[in-house]
Amino acid sequence: MYKLLIIDDEPQILEGMKRILDWKQYGFSRIDTCESTEAAMSMVVDVQPDVAIFDVCIGKNLGYEAIYRLNELQIPTKYVIMSGYSEFTYAQEAIRCGVKDYLLKPVDRTKLQRVIEKIIVEDLHGTIGHARNESLNKDPVLGVSYDSLSKLLNRILLMIKTEYTQNITLKSIAERFQMNSTYLGQLFLKESEMKFSEYLMAYRMLLAQERIQASDEKISSIALSVGYNNLNYFYMHFHSYFGKSPSDLRGKG
């Protein structure tokens, strides 16, 4: 029913944004991504997405400048800006060009959910009753509501969901929080009842499972897309988690 366009010059952010919400539950049947403002402007003109989410800085260009130019064409797309910067100037310019909201990275799932629901109801005149089912607000690995988890754990889970393709570690996250990695690991384990490494592996495995069952993409490509550079390591983890090989899961061996 709806079309979505996400623009960011970092591929891992694009992948994370495609998975941060269950877009199909909200009626988005088409999701496109772009890594430059030039490509984004052409896509908006050609496809006319219902919603476009722009990063504020795309290479040397600014997302809101592209939105200004698109507004001149009177295309009815609704825009949201996301940014790693909380600078007032950026937010001010975003408001001036009529964006629906300005979200800071890492994008908070609940805030994005509220923005999208508001756009669907107020601007697209749709309904969201079916989208508010319980599973949308549950973590796929832990099986519990995000609302029941601490703010710290939610932030860590968001980082994993947007950076799982990279070499993300407990140590690298602890450095960003300026915390001791051992202490942070203990907090993670106490609240989630899983080690950080176990959660990261489980999340990657669930994504791999989804892609294996939904496509004929090569297993090596899928392994790389979920953060495994070593294919043997991927097979070992996969068999350990599911008790079968990727080809068995796909029903081809």
pLDDT in tens, 62-105: 888 899 999 888 899 999 999 887 666 777 787 888 899 988 88
Residue-wise pLDDT tens digits, 159-210: 898 888 888 999 999 999 999 999 999 999 999 999 999 999 999 999 898 8
143 and 190 inside one domain: yes
CATH number at residue 53: 3.40.50.2300
Give the other-Cβ count within 10 Å of 79's Cβ: 25
Residue (of 145, 137, 116) closest to 128 by Cα position: 116
71 and 99 inside one domain: yes
**Does residue 158 carry a pLDDT above 90?**
no
107 and 142 inside one domain: no
Q: How far apart are CA 58 and CA 10, in angstroms?
A: 9
User: Model-level pTM?
Assistant: 0.56
CATH number at residue 154: 1.10.10.60
**Does residue 133 carry a pLDDT above 70?**
no
227 and 102 inside one domain: no
DSSP code for 138:
B
Domain count, the chain: 2
Out of 85, 114, 137, pick the residue that ends a domain.
137
Q: How far apart are CA 10 and CA 84, in angstroms?
A: 12
More confident residue, 134 or 224: 224
74 and 11 inside one domain: yes
Out of 121, 137, 153, pick the residue that ends a domain.
137
Out of 119, 137, 155, pick the residue that ends a domain.
137
What pLDDT does 184 receive?
96
List, in order, residues 6 or more apart from 83 with CB less than 8 Å away: 55, 56, 57, 90, 91, 102, 103, 104, 105
What percent of the chain has a predicted confidence (pLDDT) above 70? 94
What is the bridge-based pairing of β-strands 57-58 and 61-62?
antiparallel
110 and 147 inside one domain: no
166 and 78 inside one domain: no
88 and 206 inside one domain: no
What percent of the chain has a predicted confidence (pLDDT) above 90? 49
Residue (of 187, 105, 200, 183) closest to 150 by Cα position: 187
What pLDDT does 253 receive?
39
- pLDDT-based confidence at 110, cuts 50/70/90? confident
149 and 51 inside one domain: no
28 and 142 inside one domain: no
244 and 160 inside one domain: yes
Structural domain including 103 reads 2-137
Residue (of 221, 227, 206) closest to 138 by Cα position: 206
Mean pLDDT of 120-126: 88
156 and 92 inside one domain: no
Question: What's phi and psi for 124, nearest 5 deg?
Answer: -100, -5
- pLDDT-based confidence at 132, cuts 50/70/90? low
